[in-house]
Amino acid sequence: MRNIEEVRAKLPLRYPYLMIDRVVEESPDHVVAIKNVTINEPFFQGHFPGHPIMPGVLLLEAMAQAGGVLLLHEIDEPTDKLVYFMGIDNARFRKPVLPGEQLTFELTMNAFRRNACKMTGRALVDNALVASADFMAMVVDR
């Protein structure tokens, strides 16, 4: 299990852009990460006043960050590397994500060659699918 400090050591992102709070499962081809969604998130001020929902693009970003943890798991000297996302396909949003909910991101590595990969991601709240997408990413030197 990776706590927030271990996640911060692996990913170069910081507030307000670091979108995962904890990694609860990690293997060479799969990662599970958690995001606690609170009303204090800055995006809720404008999305939408009186009816706050997490923007879909931020769900994708959080999934991509979990995918970055997965990809860096397989790389030698990950602190010297960055993950660049090259594409997102088949993105689907099934249900709004509300303040107070806990997101679980499940990312699976489909293919990994040299410095590029394809992954499939799912976002769940209470085991119900809220979003999914396929990602392409590459590893570059910092």
Tens digits of per-residue pLDDT, 80-105? 888 999 999 999 999 999 999 999 99
State the pLDDT confidence band at 109, using cuts at 50, 70 and 90. Answer: very high
In this predicted structure, the answer to whether residue 129 has a pLDDT above a threshold of 80 is yes
CA 1 to chain centre: 16
Task: Report the number of distinct structural domains present in the chain.
Answer: 1
Alpha-carbon gap, residue 22 to 82, rounded angstroms:
19
Q: Sign of torsion, CA 30 81 57 8?
A: positive
Alpha-carbon gap, residue 71 to 94, rounded angstroms:
26
State the pLDDT confidence band at 114, using cuts at 50, 70 and 90. Answer: confident
**Do the Cβ atoms of 130 and 92 come closer than 8 Å?**
no
Residue 124 belongs to domain spanning: 4-141
What CATH number is associated with residue 77? Answer: 3.10.129.10
Q: Which tens digit of pLDDT belongs to each residue from 42-78?
A: 999 999 999 999 999 999 999 999 999 999 887 878 8
In this predicted structure, the answer to whether residue 24 has a pLDDT above a threshold of 90 is yes
Alpha-carbon gap, residue 119 to 107, rounded angstroms:
7
Q: In this predicted structure, what is the pLDDT of residue 76?
A: 79
Residues with catalytic function: 47
Mean pLDDT of 1-20: 90
